[in-house]
Amino acid sequence: MSESTRLRDAQELSSPYNSLHDSYVSNKTNQKCSVSALVATGCLIGVGILLAIVVIEKIKHEKEINEALNPHLSSTCCNDTDPNEQSSVVLVESFPEGVDLRRNSSAGSDLYEAWRTLLSLATEQIDVASFYWSLTDQDIGVNSTADTHGRAILEEFKALASRNVSVRVVSSIPTLARNSTDLEVLQKHGVQVRRVDFGRLTKGILHSKFWIVDRRHLYIGSANMDWRALTQVRELGVLLLNSSTLAVDLQKIFESYWMMGVWNSSIPQRWPDTLQTHINEEQPLNTSLSGVNSRVYITASPPAFCPDSRTHDLSAILSAIRGAQSFIHVSVMEYYPASKYFNLHGFWPVLEDALKRAAFDRRVFVRLLVSCGRESDPSVWPFLRSLDALHSPSDNINIAVRVFIIPAGNQTRIPYTRINHSKYMVTDKLAYIGTSNWSADYFNTTAGVGLVVSQDALQKNSFQQQLRAVFQRDWSSEFSIPLSELQNNHDCAFPTHTP
């Protein structure tokens, strides 16, 4: 209750006494003053209690962060991992039912199996950040057997308490899954849940999607905790096993969300020292991933949620584009060089200019693969056409745009499906896997994370090479068409090619 409300209530309570007969005034003056003083004192005490509660809560949550991270700070004091820790990196994917891209040897591991692996490995704690949760078909009012995997994942989360595994979940306000009961169900099974009001804090959303298991294993990728992500949407992510240094670093980002998930939270002018990082673009982690020498760091957005030492997501992407010497391959659900949410409309050519400069100044081959589905925003096409129009091999300018279209088939009743939801980039220098679409809001006001992996290009079977092979597979697949062949009706569920 606010101070003004308390004062109003106090006034209402004292009003009957104001109507006492005048004959009592002279005799009760001192008593009335005492009552007023008590009311005022009560208000001040009430306000003081509220302030004390807020302060205690903030101290409590900072203490939680310190206790969670301090035992592991020694592992992040320098940028080399424990040589005895055998870290593995696994590219993971999911495909809509009926889409066969796994026949290619470059396909990643199955996303559903990756999540099950993380659940089976957990012995102490799982922390999950996701835009929303919707693991059953009833959440969106449909009846589909395609939610089987989602239901299985939900059941495994519900059973974690019986294994003495603690679970914390952060999700977004606002959210897409207004009718989902997943988080309420999980709370009844001992899961701690906090919703971060990014709408109030930054005029954005919490769009990050990652898991941290036992501060040792982690997942980052495009998939929300949604049954459709497992069977109806093309997703891409990365699984890191036995990588405690990176897991603890990602834990710091989770703790910033957790800290802001309390009532009346406000973004601190300076984030606690325990949330600072020693791993960033200037000082990447030197480690071995699946036997390949690698330099790795984790990025985050928006800037307001980044401690001074954390590399911003946008900065990492721009740096990767500037550093490319041969090629830049980008696969993203939506590319839109402007702001479009929360009435913040405005042109934002930051990424577009960087791609054009790479193609024009350094003759880098740029390929951009964007998704198109029934819910696609038609306002993106003029920007994509203007970018694609620069393709002029005779002038040594090589920018090509293609559209990835997954036929809806018999799934038209299920919204937000049959799309390529992945968000990644691979160049001749590095691989980047993120959680953000490429528009202004996602980098300036919305929470997201990214993983940057740089490896020796001469090393075989590197993660970088595998991601490049996946892009080339998608680029040349039957689901990819040149932008020029897309008709102007913007209905990509059943595209018609021009002659």
Distance between CA atoms of 494 and 290, rounded to whole angstroms? Answer: 41
Distance between CA atoms of 226 and 153, rounded to whole angstroms? Answer: 10
Identified catalytic residue from 127, 137, 182, 209: 209
Distance between CA atoms of 320 and 310, rounded to whole angstroms? Answer: 16
Specify whether the CB–CB gap between 127 and 262 falls below 8 A: no
Helices and strands (DSSP H and E) totals, the chain: 13, 23
The verdict on whether 209 is a catalytic residue reads yes
Identified catalytic residue from 61, 207, 252, 429: 207
The contacts of residue 307 (CB under 8 Å, 6+ apart) are 252, 270, 271, 275, 276, 277
Short-list 215, 62, 193, CA closest to 126: 215
Identified catalytic residue from 149, 252, 421, 423: 421
The verdict on whether 421 is a catalytic residue reads yes
Distance between CA atoms of 355 and 390, rounded to whole angstroms? Answer: 11
Residue 32 corresponds to which amino acid? K
What is the C-alpha radius of gyration for the chain, rounded to an integer number of angstroms? Answer: 26
- What are 110's two structure tokens? 């199955």
User: Residue 435's Cα: distance from chain center in Å?
Assistant: 5
Longest CA–CA separation in the chain, Å: 103
395 C-beta neighbours (distance < 10 Å), count: 9
The verdict on whether 207 is a catalytic residue reads yes
Phi-psi region of 214 (alpha: psi -120 to 50; beta: other; left: phi over 0): left
Specify whether the CB–CB gap between 62 and 262 falls below 8 A: no
Residues recognised as catalytic: 207, 209, 214, 421
